[in-house]
Chain A
Amino acid sequence: MKEIFSEMPSLPSLPSEIQDDPERLCSFFCKALTGAEQYPEATQRTLTLLMNWGNLILQHGHEISFSFSASELAEMVRRCDCLGPAQMGFYYEGRLRAECEFLVPRAIKEADILAFYRTLSTWSQNRSLFQCFVIGAVLAIKLLHLRKIMGGK
């Protein structure tokens, strides 16, 4: 039995820069949207929407229920993302759906923190291969949301 459990179980590592601070959050979002210089207006709009949503989570996150699936992630991204459609046009929807399905193969329930951490880890390890950059920012907001819920409990 000892050999079987020789390795210490651990949770996936998380982006350390995500903090409960609006300024640092804004800085993280800006970094997440790299390669968006060609579309300054779309980037600006996206950042504004993300910040609004981030502030809402910071203030009322513990009151909002947490649910997470590929289609919900795609919907969340779609609500904030002005950059992706500008970059990819009609390809955007298909790409977004494919990336979200890869990140969240199964719906994650509120208590399943391990599954959400896996999603975060998968994103962070393959970050350069994703084209819908806003997914990273949405994942950061969802992490804050989860923390709020966990803290609230």
Chain B
Amino acid sequence: MNVKVYEKSPYTEKIDAYSRVKLFGANAVDSAEIIRYGNVTRIANGGITAGNGRFALQPSFSGGHVITECYTDGSLVLYPTQDNSPLPELLADLNGMADILNNSLYLSRKLHLDCKDPDAADGYWKRCFCDLAQPPTGMPSLDFYNRDMIFDCREDIFIIDGYVTVLEAKFFKTANMPGVMLLYFEPQRSRLATKFSPTEINKKIWITSELGVFLENEEPIFWFQNCGDLEKTDFPLLKPYYSTFIITDFTNDGLRTRNSVAEAQAFKAAAFKHGIPVSIAVAHLENGKNIGNIRGEIYHDSSLKILNNEEFLQKCDEYRVTVDPVLCGNPYEIKFQANKAIDSYLLPFFFERGRLSVFQETANSLSIREPLLSLLDGTKKFVEYPVASIKTLIFCRQGKIYRIKKQLRNQASASLRFYKDAMLLAPGQNAAEEMKELLGEIRPELVMLELSGYSEAQEKLLLAAVDLCLDNGVSVGVFCEEGLVPPALAEMTDKNFIVGESAYNIFNVKEKADKGMTVFHRFNFNGKAVTVGKSNEEELAAAMRK
């Protein structure tokens, strides 16, 4: 699939403002409201003048307004313009601005013209719904139909200064003059456009919000014009087909990808509420090239990958897109899903992805935590393994915060985040909810906490937090005194380590793996690289007796 991604046009808003000044300004010419538009003065015959009074804008006898000059002999000369209401030009001139569009934008914002509905314009010009009868302007155009296939509106595509600019055409008319005035406005409603629909039902169609994808590909494809308020989109148009919304995944632009994912999520949710199932596909965009004289990039033969619901939700989670609850199913349902992270190491020997590791240590020995932190933040590494920098969330026990700071020599590391355990245990706190928020905020790969010396109620709260982490695929490391592992935790444990310190920064570790297997290791954390050697039961026992 060829994907053309156009840059957002800055002219859409300006042309919209120009049209609004022209329409609402012309309607105000015959009232006191016109003085809000500029330093103009009302004159007889429904006109306005400015400056020395030599020129005026008056209703023309062919409809619209016309610039008129009053000669010194009192006779009048008309200056017909191509445009039948040169009010924005006059107002820009009065403000000393050469850029008529910018002056119109200024006026539109100041006078809140963007909040007015052109379809409801009242006064000299009124909306005339003669769109179907109007001949094409010669520009490429898009016809939109609403849910019952009744014509809705036409939009023309302009190339202005290289920007692809899409504007909605609206026609206006004076009550007693022939002819209509065509003005262009920024589209205000989310709509679906199609070049051609499949004649057969149950056919597969694509949906994209990138106009370039829509124009470039000769496939059954709908263009989704996103103007917000998606639930008002005419989704029934999609009912006869199997629809797939395309996410544009820009390799080098996470923000744009995120926007695309968020848009897909909103579209899918809104369609779901209309009873239209929409699947999601991702187009991976790499090696974009400039498109000649148009501002944008083209990606040739981009690969498309269909995502299942779980993958899509993961994608939303990856880009921190809040998912509409309708897409998540019943929040109380426990889902069993194949965890892809299983058996992949987070940190060799100690942590696996999405698994629980429990470290049992003797009460008076130095914890293995400090050397482990140096491995996790990448300041040390195992001899035969690459440096790891693992985003870790560490809960510190109240009263041991200074100890942690001292151990880390106050060296802050970007990958390690420390929180007080009070965050989970303070009275009135919901440990699971707090943990959920932290996981969403920090996105850790590993959570480490201590589980000794707490009351039974506090232990329950901490275990609920641990359960939530594991359920979300986050690895957990729990440190507790030897033999004091709560039974509930013991049932969840994937790796169980008994740790003894034989010398400074040298730890003998017994790992109780599944099926009663035990492995002994000696880890030497002295030096930049951590060496791993063999150990045995006796050495561990000696270390623990120290």
Which of chain A's residues has its CB closest to B44's CB? Answer: A105
Shortest distance from the beta carbon of B30 to any chain A beta carbon, whole Å: 15
B98 within 8 A of A: no
CB under 8 Å from chain B, chain A span 102-127: 102, 105, 114-115, 117-119, 121-122, 125-126
**Residues of B close to A94: CB separation below 8 A:** 176-177
Which of the candidate stretches B74-82, B141-149, B220-228 sits at the interface with the other chain?
A: B74-82
Asked if B77 contacts A125 (CB within 8 A), the reply is yes
Asked if A126 contacts B76 (CB within 8 A), the reply is yes
Q: Which of the residues B44, B61, B74, B78 comes within 8 Å of A118, measured between beta carbons? A: B74
Shortest distance from the beta carbon of B66 to any chain A beta carbon, whole Å: 9
Q: Taking A94-B177, A105-B45 as contacts, is the C-beta distance between A114 and B74 under 8 angstroms?
A: yes
Asked if A126 contacts B78 (CB within 8 A), the reply is yes
In the bound complex, how far is the Cα of B225 from the Cα of A59, in angstroms? 74
Asked if B74 contacts A101 (CB within 8 A), the reply is no
A15 within 8 A of B: no
**Residues of B close to A7: CB separation below 8 A:** 72
B73 within 8 A of A: yes
Shortest distance from the beta carbon of B45 to any chain A beta carbon, whole Å: 6
Shortest distance from the beta carbon of A150 to any chain B beta carbon, whole Å: 19
Asked if A101 contacts B45 (CB within 8 A), the reply is yes
A64 within 8 A of B: no
A81 within 8 A of B: no
In the bound complex, how far is the Cα of B78 from the Cα of A117, in angstroms? 17
Which of chain B's residues has its CB closest to A10's CB? Answer: B73
In the bound complex, how far is the Cα of B77 from the Cα of A118, in angstroms? 11
Asked if A122 contacts B176 (CB within 8 A), the reply is no
Overall SS of chain A's interface: helix
Interface residue tally on A, bucketed by range: 20 to 34
Asked if A125 contacts B75 (CB within 8 A), the reply is yes
**Residues of A close to B176: CB separation below 8 A:** 94
Q: Which of the residues B44, B45, B75 comes within 8 Å of A122, measured between beta carbons? A: B75
Q: Count of A-B contacts with CB under 8 A?
A: 44
B178 within 8 A of A: yes
Q: Which of the residues B75, B76, B80, B178 comes within 8 Å of A91, measured between beta carbons? A: B178
Shortest distance from the beta carbon of A3 to any chain B beta carbon, whole Å: 16
Which of chain A's residues has its CB closest to B72's CB? Answer: A7
Which of chain B's residues has its CB closest to A106's CB? Answer: B44
A22 within 8 A of B: no
Asked if B76 contacts A12 (CB within 8 A), the reply is no
Which of chain B's residues has its CB closest to A121's CB? Answer: B75
**Residues of A close to B62: CB separation below 8 A:** 95, 129, 131
**Residues of B close to A95: CB separation below 8 A:** 61-62
Per-position 1/0 for B193-232, Cβ under 8 A of A: 0000000000000000000000000000000000000000
Which of chain B's residues has its CB closest to A7's CB? Answer: B72
Which of chain B's residues has its CB closest to A97's CB? Answer: B61
Per-position 1/0 for B160-188, Cβ under 8 A of A: 00000000000000001110000000000
**Residues of B close to A114: CB separation below 8 A:** 74
Q: Which of the residues A119, A122, A129 comes within 8 Å of B80, measured between beta carbons? A: A129
Asked if A98 contacts B61 (CB within 8 A), the reply is yes
A4 within 8 A of B: no
Which of chain A's residues has its CB closest to B80's CB? Answer: A129
**Residues of A close to B73: CB separation below 8 A:** 10-12, 117-118, 121
Shortest distance from the beta carbon of B80 to any chain A beta carbon, whole Å: 6
Per-position 1/0 for A1-20, Cβ under 8 A of B: 00000010011100000000
CB under 8 Å from chain A, chain B span 78-100: 78, 80
Asked if B45 contacts A118 (CB within 8 A), the reply is no
Asked if A129 contacts B78 (CB within 8 A), the reply is yes
Asked if B75 contacts A102 (CB within 8 A), the reply is no
**Residues of B close to A122: CB separation below 8 A:** 75-77
Shortest distance from the beta carbon of B531 to any chain A beta carbon, whole Å: 98
In the bound complex, how far is the Cα of B177 from the Cα of A14, in angstroms? 31
In the bound complex, how far is the Cα of B62 from the Cα of A126, in angstroms? 13
Shortest distance from the beta carbon of B430 to any chain A beta carbon, whole Å: 75
Shortest distance from the beta carbon of B59 to any chain A beta carbon, whole Å: 8
Asked if A99 contacts B61 (CB within 8 A), the reply is yes
Q: Which of the residues A11, A102, A117, A121 comes within 8 Å of B61, measured between beta carbons? A: A102
Asked if A12 contacts B178 (CB within 8 A), the reply is no
In the bound complex, how far is the Cα of B452 from the Cα of A116, in angstroms? 108
Binding site for B on A (CB under 8 A): 7, 10-12, 91, 94-95, 98-99, 101-102, 105, 114-115, 117-119, 121-122, 125-126, 129, 131
The 5 closest A-B pairs by CB, nearest first: A98-B61, A121-B75, A122-B75, A118-B74, A12-B73
List 27 A–B pairs whose Cβ atoms lie within 8 Å, in order of A's numbering: A7-B72, A10-B73, A11-B73, A12-B73, A12-B74, A12-B75, A94-B177, A95-B61, A99-B61, A101-B45, A101-B61, A102-B61, A105-B44, A118-B74, A119-B75, A121-B73, A121-B75, A122-B76, A125-B71, A125-B75, A125-B77, A126-B76, A126-B77, A129-B62, A129-B78, A129-B80, A131-B62
Known: A121-B75, A126-B77. 8 other contacts (CB 8 A): A94-B176, A94-B177, A99-B61, A102-B76, A122-B75, A125-B77, A126-B76, A126-B78
